Amino acid sequence: MSLKGATFLESVLQTLKRATELGGYPQEVYEILSRPQRIITVNIPVRMDNGKIQVFTGYRVQHNNALGPYKGGIRFHPEVTLEEDIALATVMTFKNALNGLPYGGGKGAVAVDYKKLSKRELEELSRGYARALAPFIGPETDIPAPDVGTDPQIMAWMVDEYSKIAGHNVPGVFTAKPVILWGNPVREYSTGFGVAVWAREAAKKLWGGLEGKTVAVQGFGNVGYWGAYWLEKMGARVVAVTDSKGGVYNPNGLNLTEVKAVKDKTGTVMNYDAPGTRKITNDEVLELPVDVLVPAALENVIHRGNANNIKAKLIVEGANGPTTADAEQILHKKGIWVLPDLAANAGGVVMSYLEWVENLQWYFWDEEETRNRLERILLDTFNRVMNRWNKLGTSQVTIREAAYVEAVDRIYNAMKVRGWI
């Protein structure tokens, strides 16, 4: 256990244990789901621009496939660890089950500071990772997608590499590909869209709606930016955003288009300067006097050391695992709603599912039809989680626990009819 409390994996397992108890499932369910079915470690040699070979270590954790092929992103980050990857893969099993998708959970990672690589080196590394994993992945086996540090271009290189090995085009092996290469335009903003839909639905219950509510967002990448964009479109006022260097706060609201332009031009939102705007740190952004807080960067940022300082009434987990289990208990006692990652940031994987369905049938919906399908699935999950939470008792259990029970229920029933338990 670290100073901040339980590690991400410990928090996930703690929640799983409690969910199996709350749902009255046999102990075997915890025994099976607390470990991944398979862990693959790969070492990828890349010829760097200086002529030397550098070997990068990567993982693919295949957690559970009771409900279907493993599905989950690939993270490129210098500080990834196998333990973190296991935690992320575990959450994917529950996320996919919760959202009614025909998938199990998996997650990949490569320890690399991708910002230090040239485009050619990054392509070599991405192709090397896809090559190393080719025997273990596929549209009916394991379907990776982007996560922190990876993007549609990387998916394009990977799908190309996999297709070369297969000897024919295999669009359904990776999702969130560029639109020209069997992707879907909704994927770019789908996770942020899902964050906003969950926030909007919760806000209806808390305050009658999102209109005029203030929002702080930690992380201004894919999830953070598009979450802020859709929250604003749905009537909220985004007052603070940060990235890895820190961020900016204006109680009257930020001009997101301008902030994004500054981030794109200079690499950080910190360089955004407008009257009434001041600089803030990544710790401060969590403790601002706002209605809604969206942690959309890394895990464990809300811990028992700062949970008591949080003023937002609604926390929407854009990131995976931003709240530790002990912090969540503190927040729950204070009546703060935490919309958990496996629900609130599922827009991306639900959209990935729709893209995969398109790829399998080589037939594509237009943007509006896709977004409507995505929203329908998200709303269905929201309603099921709220019903489950009310049934279990809102003061006794957290929303995350209710979501886990809902997810475990599907996985348990699949494992049972398969004869695994």
Q: Which residues bind ligand NAD (CB under 6 A)?
A: 147-149, 191, 218-224, 242-244, 282, 296-298, 318-320, 345, 348
Nearer to ligand NAD, 197 or 298 (CB): 298
Nearest approach in angstroms of CB 17 to ligand NAD is 23
How many degrees, rounded to 5, is the angle at CA 123 between CA 119 and CA 126?
135
**Residue 170 φ then ψ, to 5°:** -130, 80
User: Residue 205 catalytic?
Assistant: no
Residues 6+ apart with CB under 8 A from 211: 235, 236
Nearer to ligand NAD, 2 or 387 (CB): 2
Nearer to ligand NAD, 74 or 408 (CB): 74
Distance (Å, rounded) from C-alpha 115 to C-alpha 271?
19
Nearest approach in angstroms of CB 223 to ligand NAD is 4
Nearest approach in angstroms of CB 146 to ligand NAD is 6
Burial of 207 (0-12, 13-18, 19+ CB in 10 A): middle
With beta carbons less than 8 A apart as the criterion, state whether 283 and 269 touch: no
Nearest approach in angstroms of CB 49 to ligand NAD is 23
Nearest approach in angstroms of CB 321 to ligand NAD is 7
Nearer to ligand NAD, 148 or 415 (CB): 148
Distance (Å, rounded) from C-alpha 284 to C-alpha 300?
15
Nearer to ligand NAD, 23 or 106 (CB): 106
With beta carbons less than 8 A apart as the criterion, state whether 404 and 105 touch: no
Residues 6+ apart with CB under 8 A from 331: 302, 307, 310, 315, 323, 338
Nearest approach in angstroms of CB 45 to ligand NAD is 25
DSSP helix/strand/coil, 381 = helix
Distance (Å, rounded) from C-alpha 126 to C-alpha 116?
14
> With the C-alpha atoms ordered 161, 92, 13, 25, is the resulting torsion angle positive or negative?
negative
Out of 4, 17, 52, 107, pick the active-site residue.
107
Nearer to ligand NAD, 95 or 332 (CB): 95
User: Which residues are tagged catalytic?
Assistant: 107
